Amino acid sequence: MKSALLMIAAAGLACGQNVAVRGEVVYTMAGAPLKDGVVLVRGGKIERVGPASAVNVPAGFKTLTAKVVTPGLIDAHATLGLSGALNQPHDQDQVEKSAPMQPELRAIDAYDPQERLIEWVRGFGVTTIHTGHGPGVLISGQTMIVKTNAVTADDAMAPAAMIAATLGDGARAEQGKSPGTRSKMIAMLRAELIKAQEALKKADKKEATRDLRAEAFQKLVKGEMPLLVTVHKANDILTAIRLGKEFGLKLVLDGVAEAPEVLAQIKASGYPVILHPTMQRSYGDAESLSMETASKLSAAGIPFALQSGFEGYVPKTRVVLWEAGVAAANGLGREKALASITMEAAKLLGIAQRVGSLEAGKDGDVALYDGDPLEYTTHCTGVVIGGVTVKTEAR
């Protein structure tokens, strides 16, 4: 029975549906909100967006209606699909702690698209997630970008998106093991990056044997993959920036609880930020986090997106929609908060050509709500991914 359902879902993914989504307000994220707008999706792609008075809905199109319509939401950093709802060893694959550095570990080899937490966040309008190995060791592995209705890991938009690293207490090994200090962490990373640079300088590689770890580090120094660095304290943020500049890395700063202390340096670096969840617990390196940090990053002109991160306790995962709602109420404002989980997230992840806004030619990913999506009393009443209606009941 399950295999039959998967075949049906796969068929839907391949061809999409012809759908017209009409909203009293449509946030396209590509311009001003439309009043009484329509989004036409044909064959999985958006064909046209505009006011209902100017958009003719062709015969045979399925029509969905809502008070508010937005692009499908994007979670800029999660561990969903590797970390599961049961929070037990058998469904927690986001961190392998047998060694401090394992950049060769691939998210797609552990991702479970049938994990119930993925269906849970999809029910709130989250249609795309950047997920994979998370914080907890110096380099935990790779991440991936995938739609929340993917049938298998092979359906990923980007099977290898970034390499995840951690600096600070989160990467500190057990007593007597490396790395035990911050300077040791950077020394270990620097040594591997230098090896990668030297290997790339060698002209004759015909006889070289495959080394997955070396290949991963070479992708970093060649700029083929970004290094996603989870870091919170101001001094560690500056260390990450220093390392990135030294090796010419594509760096993405993640977490950054103490970002307000070094806003000028982050701005000057040009590196984007995936900010900690607005309601993250404030302890350890993140003890100085603030619900107002998103608004401060925005005011400073620093590109950023919001994330759900990793939740090791109840309720197992955060929902970026709620994180954005709290950020909006703490100085960010409604439209910038919505952008942080749609268009700005898509730009940061390099997928804005497909998702993040409601524009002709982009994937038909749409979320429907019965009110302001950033209000807790609002329900998500429908979700469309690639033209396939995956949810019509209210949550």
pLDDT digits (tens, 9 = 90+) for 39-71: 999 999 999 999 999 999 999 999 999 999 999
Q: Give which of 254, 328, 318, 376 is closest to 126, Cα–Cα.
A: 318
Give first-to-last CA distance, the chain, whole Å: 26
* Rounded average pLDDT over 247-271: 98
Please give the Cα distance from 200 to 197 (Å, whole number). 5
Contact yes or no for 191/179 (Cβ under 8 A):
no
∠ CA 344-193-246 to the nearest 5 degrees? 65
Answer whether CATH 3.40.605.10 is correct for domain 2-71+358-391. no
Same CATH fold assignment for domains 2-71+358-391 and 73-349: no
pLDDT of residue 315: 72
Confidence of residue 203 (pLDDT cuts 50, 70, 90): low
For residue 389, which amino acid is it? T
Whether 8 has a pLDDT exceeding 50, the answer reads no
Superfamily of domain 73-349: Metal-dependent hydrolases (3.20.20.140)
Helices 212-221, 182-201: axis angle to 10 degrees equals 90
Whether 172 has a pLDDT exceeding 60, the answer reads yes
Which helix (H) or strand (E) element contains residue 195?
Answer: helix 182-201
Please give the Cα distance from 241 to 157 (Å, whole number). 28
Helices 182-201, 234-247: axis angle to 10 degrees equals 10
pLDDT of residue 201: 87
| Cross-sheet strand order for the sheet of 45-51 | 45-51, 34-42, 19-26, 62-71, 366-369, 380-385, 388-391
Please give the Cα distance from 44 to 113 (Å, whole number). 20
* Rounded average pLDDT over 97-102: 95
Confidence of residue 4 (pLDDT cuts 50, 70, 90): very low
Provide the CB-side half-sphere exposure for 296 (13 A, CA): 17
pTM summary value: 0.95
Q: Exposed (0-12), middle (13-18) or buried (19+): which is 368, by Cβ within 10 Å? A: buried
Please give the Cα distance from 348 to 293 (Å, whole number). 18
Spans of all domains in the chain:
2-71+358-391, 73-349
Rg (CA), the chain: 21
pLDDT of residue 15: 61
* Rounded average pLDDT over 71-90: 95
Confidence of residue 205 (pLDDT cuts 50, 70, 90): low
pLDDT tens across 10-45, in order? 544 556 789 999 999 999 999 999 999 999 999 999
pLDDT of residue 175: 85
Alpha carbon 179 to chain centroid distance? 28
